[in-house]
Structure 1
Amino acid sequence: MTAATPSHRRLATDSWESLLTSQVAMMRELQKEPLFKELGSREYDILYQLSRCSSGWLRLNELNEHVLLTQPSISRMVDRLESRGLIQRKSAEDDKRGVLIGLTEQGVAKQKTVGRAHVQRIMELMEVALTDDEMRTLQDLTSKLRTSVAGH
């Protein structure tokens, strides 16, 4: 790779800042959703990730790979969600020291209720700003970034 020019560095930095500020703007708007008053967006993210798991169960460290929280923060949030009856823990069959986390029936219902409203609001915000082709391009570009970073 050749040395970056000042204009190339500026373009990279400006592109990164644009990506971050648009994400923050979207999150702020999405957090106005009334259902996020009773279940925060980060709490919802944990329920959503658990709902996507084919076995219905994830180890804490696996959950950590999918959410934007530190391990201690996830542990505290899992404790809170468990105390609210939304998730449950069980010992891993292959490793009795390992703990698996899964949704309760109440957690599944809450994730679906909040998820429907969340998806509707995402759709409203995205389709006002972008065409279908632009959304596909955005998806392609962000996937390309993730793949590149994962390769480093």
Structure 2
Amino acid sequence: MSGSPASSAVRLAAETWESLFRSQVAVMRKLQSGPAFKTLPVREYDVLFTLSRCPSGQLRLNEINDKVLLSQSSLSRLVDRLEKRGLVERTSAPDDGRGILLSLTESGRELQKAIGRDHVRDIAALIEPALTAAEQRELLRLTEKLRTAVAGH
């Protein structure tokens, strides 16, 4: 005899999460080992990518922290490394003398674009053989729905 409907729902939710998580880990491991990230580790690229997507071109450290999967202290050290390499720069926030804004340098922008082109090709090489275009659209719809629901809590 199977468990109660509630325990079945909990089990299904857990299996769904594990499948989503393990799929993401498998894809990221494959992408990280590819040629796109020989120049810059994926976590450092993530910061450059996040800054490149920002309409103003500048973000505070805590705004970047909201978009990447790093602790605040790890992000601070990572940004220090990016700054030393000349890929990002810090400026004072005009509305807050203590606030610091981060932005890409021209070198950072060029590197992000170069890695991004290779990264997108690597993503397509993994995803396209595994999922049809309709399946990709459905997965996108479902993951956006999940993210929106979780963000609302």
State the TM-score, normalized to the length of structure 1.
0.95
Give the Å deviation of 1:70: 1.1
Question: 1:13 aligns to what?
Answer: 14
TM-fit CA distance, 1:34? 2.3
Whole-Å Cα distance in 2 between the matches of residues 147 and 34 of structure 1? Answer: 33
CA distance in 1, matches of 2:86, 2:74: 18
The whole-number CA distance in structure 1 between the counterparts of 2:5 and 2:150 is: 18
Q: Residue 53 of structure 2 aligns with which residue? A: 52
Note the C-alpha offset of 1:5. Answer: 1.7
Unaligned runs of 5+ in 1: none
Structure 2 residues not aligned, in runs of 5+: none
Query: Residues 110-138 of structure 1, C-alpha deviation per residue, up to 9 Å, x if partnerless?
Result: 00110000000001111011111111111
Aligned to 1:84: 85
Q: What is the distance in 2 between the residues matched to 1:145 and 1:111?
A: 28
**RMSD between aligned residues:** 1.2
TM-score by length of 2: 0.94
Shift of 1:65: 1.1
Identity of aligned residues (%): 59
1:84 CA displacement:
0.5
Measure how far apart 1:37 and its partner are.
Answer: 2.4
Matched residue pairs, number? 150
Structure 1: 4+ residue segments shifted above 2 A: none
Please report how far the alpha carbon of residue 4 of structure 1 lies from its aligned counterpart in structure 2 after TM superposition: 5.6
